[in-house]
Amino acid sequence: MTSSHPRLVDPSWLSEHLGDPSIRIVDATVHLRFDEDGAHTESGRETYQAAHVPGATFADQLLDLTEHDGEAPFAAARSERFAEVMGGLGIGNEHTVVVYDHVNGIWATRLWWQLGLEAHDDVVVLDGGLRAWQGAGHPVATGGAVYPATTFTPHRRAERVVSTADVEAATHDPSVLLINSLARGSFAEARIPGSVNVPFDELVDEQGRLRGADELRPLFESVGALDPTVAPVTYCGGGIAATAVAFALQGLGRGDVAIYDGSMTAWTSDASRPLERG
């Protein structure tokens, strides 16, 4: 795996395991862009069909794994729906799942988190995603790939996701550490009171690969995220980048991180909720 992170694999490892029947490779790409009207998302299915790791199937997180009547646009799908989609993709509880995306890794960690939310921990992330795969000289496939349908049995870990009410209580609870995962400029503009900042874009290098533990540890230590007496809760704009911070923290021994799935979208939906700025 050639990484200090227990849930990270490199292109060479994946290339050597392409024919392993116990592995399911999943492209988790969603395209996210911002303009004067806000955030816009688009399914990554077309880019998956144009180029993907050979044997990879596609998980449409935007359309199939999001609860569209939740408190925020990207609320995690209910357990029953998640299990239905995973089983349809040929992913069972017995499989090792390799996830990647085409963009910046946060959609891969989002699926990693959702699988872990349902107690499926045998999940690894391809470091650097499709760009790293192609950069290493490995071939890509076009069109689509499917595995035979199977059964996925979910076991929701309720402690891994928190609601707005939980976060409201956490703002008065020093035993909970709220970690804003957005860029430093966004953090300065507005944040949930009492939050600290670990920007997701500082977790990776210029090639989109996760930085080593020797670089990540000081970043998290500086905000108290490795203090065993506090419970880390990560959030961002819509619950996506927050999973990248949770993923990095797991590699440093914090497997107890919860995600505020509604994140700033849900928090700011009520103008009476306070914000810190500056």
Task: State the average pLDDT over residues 245-266.
Answer: 96
pLDDT band at 223 (very low <50, low <70, confident <90, very high): very high
* Per-residue pLDDT, 226: 98
The domain at 8-156 falls in which architecture?
3-Layer(aba) Sandwich (3.40)
- Candidate CATH numbers 3.40.50.1100, 3.40.250.10, 1.10.3720.10, 3.10.300.10; the one for domain 159-267: 3.40.250.10
Beta-strand relationship, 23-27 and 57-58: parallel
Tell whether the model's pLDDT for residue 16 goes beyond 80: yes
Query: Helix, strand or coil for residue 11?
Result: helix
Q: What is the pLDDT of residues 94-148, one digit of tens each?
A: 999 999 999 889 999 999 999 999 999 999 999 999 999 999 999 999 999 889 9
pLDDT averaged over every residue in the chain = 94
* Per-residue pLDDT, 3: 60
**E strand map for the chain:** 8-9, 23-27, 30-35, 38-43, 57-58, 96-100, 123-126, 161-162, 176-180, 196-197, 231-235, 258-260
* Per-residue pLDDT, 137: 98
pLDDT band at 73 (very low <50, low <70, confident <90, very high): confident
Global pTM value: 0.96
Task: State the average pLDDT over residues 15-26.
Answer: 96
Using CA atoms, how far apart are residues 50 and 142, in angstroms rounded to an integer?
5
Tell whether the model's pLDDT for residue 2 goes beyond 80: no
Task: State the average pLDDT over residues 230-247.
Answer: 97
Query: Helix, strand or coil for residue 265?
Result: helix
Domain with CATH 3.40.250.10 in the chain: 8-156, 159-267
> Which of 266, 113, 110 shows the shortest CA–CA distance to 192?
266
Task: State the average pLDDT over residues 151-178.
Answer: 97
Tell whether the model's pLDDT for residue 1 goes beyond 60: no
Q: What is the pLDDT of residues 259-268, one digit of tens each?
A: 999 999 999 9
